[in-house]
Amino acid sequence: MTASGATVDSLITYSLPDGANDVDCSAPSSSIKLSVDPGGAKNCNELQNVSEVKKHVCISLFINDLRSIKATTEYLVSSSYGRDTTLNAYYLDIGNGVVKTEYIYNSENQYQSGFDQLINSIRAK
| pLDDT tens digits along 43-97 | 988 886 678 899 999 999 999 899 999 999 999 999 888 888 999 999 999 988 9
Pick the closest to residue 95 from 24, 18, 2 (CA basis): 2
Burial readout 44-61 (b: 16 or more C-beta within 10 A, e: otherwise): bebbeeeeeeeebebeee
Question: How far apart (Å, rounded) are the C-alpha atoms in residues 87 and 114?
Answer: 15
Identity of the amino acid at 122: I
Q: How confident is the model at residue 3 (pLDDT cuts 50, 70, 90)?
A: very low
Q: Give pTM, 2 decimals.
A: 0.84
* Cβ-Cβ contacts under 8 Å for 60 (sequence gap 6 or more): 43, 44, 67, 68, 69
Helix (H, G, I), strand (E, B) or coil at 36: strand
Position 2 scores a pLDDT of 40
DSSP letter for each residue of 49-115: ---SEEEEEEEEEEETTEEEEEEEEEE-TTSTTSS-EEEEEEEEE-SS-EEEEEEEESS--TTHHHH
**Dihedral over Cα of 8, 19, 21, 108: its sign:** negative
Ordered by start, the domain boundaries in the chain are: 8-124
Over residues 10-53, the pLDDT tens digits come to 899 998 877 666 666 656 667 788 889 988 989 988 886 678 89
What is the residue type of 93? D
Q: Span 8-124: which CATH code?
A: 3.40.1000.10
To the nearest whole percent, how much of the chain has pLDDT over 90? Answer: 39
